[in-house]
Amino acid sequence: MSAPSSTESASGVEKKPWLALVALLLGVSLIVLEGSIVNVLIPTIVQDLSIGRTDVLWVGSIYSLVFAALLITFGVLSDRIGRRRMFMLGTTIFIGFNLLAGASTSANMLILARAGEAVGGAMMLPTSMAIINVNFRGPMRAAAFGLWGAVFGGMAAFGPLLGGWLTDVASWRWAFYINIPLGILSLIMVRAFVTESKGADRKSLDWSGVVLSSVGLGLVVFGLIEGQSVGWWTAITNWDLGPWQVQPGDLSPVPITIVLGTLLLVLFVVLQSTRARANKPVLIDLSLFRIRRYGFGNVVATLVSLGEFGVLFAIPLWAQSVHGLSPLETGALLAVLGLGVVLAGGGARHAAAAIGSTRLVRIGMVLEIIGIAGVALLISSDNSPWWLAIPFVIYGVGVGFDTAQLTNVILADVPAAKSGGASSVTSTLRQVGSTLGGALLGTVLFVSLGASLADNLEANQPQLSQADQTKIVDEVVDTSGEAIQGLAQDPKTADIAQEAKDAYTTAVRVMAGVAGFAVLIGLISSFGLPPDQRAGRGSTRRKEPAPTN
């Protein structure tokens, strides 16, 4: 075993490691909540601030856009300036911009606040993974990553419930204000219980890499987010960005931004390789991908992220449009999934110790596939949506097993000094995977909805003209299904509403099939991972790497 670098903390979290973990997980929970809670707030925010459709899209998407673009930069910076310091700085920024978000009086003010929250979150998320990777060993490591995954997956499911409840009993503003005291508590605990650690590499920062990676990722994620609303090739709506104005029928900005972003990322990788050969500072150590666990693990993580959050995207829209559930009721339904995530994440330590982390990841993906298949079988426009609670629990257990332990597997053989940069790349790939999944699955959902509804109307509503059919399909798809409840309340259009409900249910089944297939490919890819190295009771043993130059 090599001696730790003098610039890297070797003692780990001192005195009270579990309190340190609680401090980190409290901060992580706020980041994840912020990414999932806003969806149920949008209708209320629209009414309160009187904002338009374009502003609504930016309120929802700016967080993911900025978050994904900055993960790598801040992860590498944390290795240089200190991981605890970076986490605390991010928490402070996150708290400040939540205060601004809650006090927002205009769309621009709220969009700015959401972007600031994402900056703070991008500082916190990869840093939390790096701190756990450096400071926890043996059974404690599996338990720590298990709880990290439980919080990450569970809060994504509990977010809509909390948002719906706060909107009902107080105001949408409290979805932001509630983060302030919790963030302050995390800040105090991190300072008290987390030991500072830094990487051994103290070279200057690769600013060309910062610019290329941030701008490239930002452009790609922007295109993936905006594709559904703006148009993947031809613009389907008016779109303005400063002097750049696009009208329906023009070339959409989406393919331009995706291609340009991809080219910048390719240039980034080429320059990183060139700089590494010249022994110059780099933002990403590409040699890490030669570590089999890290390379294959990131492929699996990206594929699984692409598929596993499709249910969280589609079910809230379907439940409110088809069954008329309130935001609070929809959040309660998703919370069943979160319960499975939390229970599985908490027990992942013992399961990983018994069978190994890699096997547990595979079992998690199998359970996810079973859960998604159960959703496809049980979802119905006639029966209660609460029947979905059964596959949701199974799905949640699968997410709880693989989300946490996959991180454990990916970082197991990464040198501790490079944990910040390595974990930030993993976080980025997961974020891009989930964004790509949201774009892909959203397209599948709404294309399927439009096609299925058109077929239903043509077959069962022959009295409607072709123009009327097209108008109904466009209205239902453009409102993400919200128009269905209006149709259902009018006796004259109740039959049409039922056709739309059936079509929406069919579309969710199709989308579930695509999501399940993505997770299946991830499961197949996981067999490229090396077997777990048995140590003691069988958990994946973290090896200390040989010194690197």
pLDDT band for 1, please (50, 70, 90 cuts).
very low
**What is the identity of the amino acid at 56?**
V
Decide which of 255, 282, 309 is a domain's last residue. 282
Q: Which domain holds residue 373?
A: 17-196+283-451+507-532
Long-range Cβ contact pairs of 285-288 (< 8 A, separation 24 or more): 285/418, 285/421, 285/422, 288/414, 288/418, 288/422, 288/425
Q: How far apart are CA 307 and CA 521, in angstroms?
A: 10
For the chain, what is the radius of gyration of the CA atoms?
23
Q: How far apart are CA 100 and CA 110, in angstroms?
A: 7
Q: Same domain, yes or no, for 174 and 308?
A: yes
64-83 per-residue burial string, b: 16 or more CB within 10 A, e: under 16: bbbbbbbbbbbbbbbbbbbb
Does the pLDDT value for residue 66 go beyond 80?
yes
149-177 per-residue burial string, b: 16 or more CB within 10 A, e: under 16: bbbbbbbbbbbbbbbbbbbeeeebbbbbb
Map tokens 């700015």 to a residue.
Answer: 112
How many residues would you count in the chain? 549
Q: Tell me the mean pLDDT in the region 377-387.
A: 90
Determine which of 105-119, 356-370, 468-482, 487-501 has the lowest per-residue pLDDT on average. 468-482
List Cα–Cα distances, 368 to 80, 455, 474, in angstroms.
Answer: 38, 31, 33
Q: How far apart are CA 292 and CA 131, in angstroms?
A: 22
Q: Same domain, yes or no, for 25 and 160?
A: yes
Is residue 8 classed as helix, strand or coil in its secondary structure? coil
The CATH number covering residue 88 comes to 1.20.1250.20
Q: Tell me the mean pLDDT in the region 220-243.
A: 77
Q: Tens of pLDDT along 113-159?
A: 999 999 999 899 888 878 887 777 766 777 777 777 777 767 776 77
Helices 494-525, 310-322: axis angle to 10 degrees equals 170
Q: Same domain, yes or no, for 516 and 424?
A: yes
Is 33 within the bounds of a domain? yes
| pTM for this model (two decimals) | 0.75
Q: What are phi and psi of 246, to 5 degrees?
A: -125, 135
Is 500 within the bounds of a domain? no
Q: Tens of pLDDT along 327-352?
A: 778 778 877 877 887 777 667 677 77
Is 543 within the bounds of a domain? no
- Write the burial class of residue 481 (CB in 10 Å: 0-12 exposed, 13-18 middle, 19+ buried): buried
pLDDT band for 200, please (50, 70, 90 cuts).
low
Does the pLDDT value for residue 194 go beyond 60?
yes
Q: How far apart are CA 346 and CA 422, in angstroms?
A: 25
Q: Same domain, yes or no, for 398 and 432?
A: yes
- For the chain, what is the domain count? 2
Q: How far apart are CA 194 and CA 135, in angstroms?
A: 9
- The reported pLDDT for the residue numbered 462 is 84
Q: How far apart are CA 271 and CA 278, in angstroms?
A: 10
Q: Same domain, yes or no, for 96 and 59?
A: yes
Q: Same domain, yes or no, for 219 and 358?
A: no
The fraction of the chain above a pLDDT of 90, given in percent, is 18
Q: Tens of pLDDT along 415-462?
A: 777 776 777 778 778 877 777 777 778 778 888 888 999 999 888 888
Q: Same domain, yes or no, for 265 and 293?
A: no
Q: Same domain, yes or no, for 250 and 214?
A: yes
Q: Same domain, yes or no, for 363 and 443?
A: yes
Which residues, 6 or more positions from 51, have their beta carbon under 8 angstroms from its beta carbon? 45, 59, 106, 107
